[in-house]
């Protein structure tokens, strides 16, 4: 039996962005609201282009600069995390609403599948970094890259080929 307790759970609870920004006194424009709603309804990892595409359906005149400004604001406020997810799609970055519980990502470098998981080891690492380095940890991220069971099974059967246009899911 493994000494590492891993909990794979469906989406970790996340704070509603609109409520959180309103509580902090941030002005909510129609464009900003569209970006927030698109992020919340996605329930996963979106890149800026995808976020723009989804949010544009909710607000006319939304442009890339507004999306990036909103992402930057959310990152500064600690409400959104920026991830590279093992650079499965080159230098593209993905954004997710920061959940209430810290978690890690395991990304298949072949098909782009992403599994989120939690483990007591994440908290243990935080404590050790604080104790050993005298470092106050504000945020910790862990991304693991490898090949998922489905891609490994395909490779042993000779049917696996890198997914065309693989993207994190």
Render each residue's pLDDT in the chain as its tens digit; 169 residues.
344 445 555 555 567 899 999 999 999 999 999 999 999 998 778 999 999 999 999 998 999 999 999 999 999 999 999 988 887 777 889 999 988 788 889 999 999 888 888 888 989 999 999 999 999 998 888 899 999 999 999 877 765 555 444 555 5
pLDDT recorded at residue 10: 52
pLDDT recorded at residue 14: 67
Phi, psi of 35 (to 5 degrees): -65, -45
CA 20 distance to own-chain centroid:
18
Q: Could you tell me if 118 and 7 are in contact, meaning their C-beta atoms sit under 8 angstroms apart? A: yes
Q: For the chain, where do the domains classified as CATH 3.30.1490.190 start and end?
A: 101-169
pLDDT recorded at residue 75: 95
pLDDT recorded at residue 159: 59
pTM for this one? 0.76
* Domain 101-169 -> CATH class: alpha beta
Q: For the chain, where do the domains classified as CATH 1.10.10.10 start and end?
A: 15-99
User: Is 3.30.230.10 the CATH number for 15-99?
Assistant: no
* Beta-sheet pairing, 104-108 with 143-146: parallel
State the chain's maximal CA–CA distance in angstroms. Answer: 57
Nearest CA-CA partner of 145 in 120, 168, 164, 121: 168
């Amino acid at each position: 039996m493994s000494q590492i307790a891993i909990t794979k759970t469906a989406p970790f609870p996340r704070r509603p962005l609109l409520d959180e920004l309103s509580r902090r006194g941030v002005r909510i424009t129609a464009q900003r609201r569209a970006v927030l709603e698109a992020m919340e309804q996605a329930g996963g990892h979106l890149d800026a282009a995808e976020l723009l595409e989804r949010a544009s359906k909710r607000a006319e005149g939304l442009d890339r600069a507004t999306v990036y400004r909103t992402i930057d604001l959310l990152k500064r406020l600690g409400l959104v995390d920026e991830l590279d997810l093992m650079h499965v799609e080159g230098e593209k970055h993905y954004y997710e609403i920061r959940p209430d519980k810290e978690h890690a990502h395991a990304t298949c470098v072949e098909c782009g599948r992403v599994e989120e998981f939690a483990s007591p080891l994440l908290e243990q690492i935080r404590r050790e970094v604080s104790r050993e380095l005298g470092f106050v940890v504000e945020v910790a991220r862990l991304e693991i890259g490898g090949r998922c069971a489905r891609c490994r099974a395909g490779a042993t059967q000779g049917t696996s080929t890198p997914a065309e246009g693989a993207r994190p899911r």
